[in-house]
Chains A and B, each alone.
Chain A
Amino acid sequence: MTAEKLPDRFEKDFFKHESQQRSWDDLVVGEVYDTEPFEVTPERIQLYVEGTEDYNPFFTDEEAAKNSQFGGLIAPPTILTPIVFAAVPPDSWVKMPGAINPGQRWEFGVPVRPGDTIYCHIKLRDKYIKRGKKYAMSEMHITNQNDEFVCRWTGGLVLQFQGNEEMKNR
Chain B
Amino acid sequence: MSEILEFGKVDLGYEIPEQSRHITQEKINKNAEGSLDFNPIHIDPAWAKKVNLLGKGTTIAHGIMTGAFMGKIVTDWAYPRGAFLQMLDVKFVHPVRPGDDITARGKVTEKHPRPGDESFVVLELWCENQAGVKVGVGQAAVRIPV
Contacts and interface: CB of A to CB of B under 8 A. Distances in A.
Interface of A: 6, 10, 12-15, 47-54, 56, 58, 67-69, 76-78, 81-82, 85-86, 95-108, 160-161, 164, 166-167, 170
B12 interface: no
9 tightest Cβ-Cβ pairs between the two chains A and B: A51-B34, A101-B63, A103-B91, A85-B36, A51-B31, A105-B89, A82-B36, A48-B34, A52-B68
B72 A54 contact: yes
Contacts, number: 138
B35 A51 contact: yes
Contacts of B50: 166, 170
Interface string B40-65: 11000001001101100000101111
Q: Chain B interface residue count: which class? A: 35 or more
A76 B85 CA distance: 10
B76 A56 contact: yes
A64 B21 CA distance: 25
Given A51-B33, A108-B87, A78 B64 contact: yes
Interface of B: 1, 21, 27, 30-41, 47, 50-51, 53-54, 60, 62-65, 67-69, 71-72, 75-76, 79-80, 82-92, 138, 145
A89 B99 CA distance: 33
A68 B86 contact: no
B34 A50 contact: yes
A121 to B, nearest CB: 19
A104 B21 CA distance: 21
